[in-house]
Every structure is written in C-alpha cells, then in structure tokens.
Amino acid sequence: MAVTGLGPYDDNNIFARILRGEVPCKRVYEDAFALAFDDIHPRAPVHVLIIPKGKYVSLADFTAGASAEEVGGFFKAVGTVAKQFGLEETGYRILANMGGNGHQEVPHFHVHLFGGRALGPMLLQ
C-alpha cells in the first residue's frame, strides 16, 4: 500500500529495521551517508535500493530536512553504486517514488537503481 510520503518517521518501517541490522539484506554498498542493497522483488537484472542513513520519510522530507552534506553524500553514493555495477557504459535509470500518486510503499526515502537491460522509454504503466 502506498504511503503519504509526509508525516512523522516510523522507526519500525522495514528499511529502518534493515539499517539497524534487525532484518537481513543483500548489501552491495555502504558508507557514512548511504546503504545500498538488492531489492527483494527485482524488476531488472540490476535492481538496487539506495537509502540514506538518516531518518527521512520521502524525497520531500529528505530535500527539506537533510543537510547539504547528507544530500551530496547520498547522491554521490548513488553514482558510486551505478559505477560499481558497471552500468555507466550501458546506461541505467534511477527512480524515487514519493507519496500516494508516486506509489511509495516504504516510508524511508530510497532511490531505485535499475540496469542490466534496455529499460524502454519509461516505467509508467
């Protein structure tokens, strides 16, 4: 079910539990700003979720509340993960769902990284 993308942060959301190590994940990258792990239901040969270490509900919350260092560090991590998977030559897509119309399901800001095949013009249905 989609979340609003706004409102208070829920410390028991699944990505908070992954960050705390309470729920396992297939970790592919981690630094001071971000954790990246395989999506449990991959929609492409590479489908990685990159999440900030801080408690932000959505992209709206992240851009409003995070420091420039956190925002910069996070997006550098996104680029680093794409490079780590060798996607720079073939290309890739990043996606951040926000709120109801964006069909955001997990209320901890995350970016999807898709690659490994031609993705078509857009992922809209």
Q: Does position 104 bind ligand 5GP by CB under 6 A? A: yes
Q: Which of 1, 8, 41, 68 binds ligand 5GP (CB under 6 A)?
A: 41
Q: Which is nearer to ligand 5GP, 69 or 105 (CB)?
A: 105
Q: Fill in the per-residue mask, 68 to 97: x = in contact with ligand 5GP (CB under 6 A), - = not in contact.
A: -----------------------------x
CA distance 6 to 75: 21
| Rg of the chain taking only CA atoms, in angstroms | 14
Q: Which residues contact 54 (CB under 8 A, 6 or more apart)?
A: 62, 66, 70
CA distance 123 to 31: 29
**Chain positions contacting ligand 5GP, by CB under 6 A:** 14, 23, 25, 37-41, 49, 97, 103-106
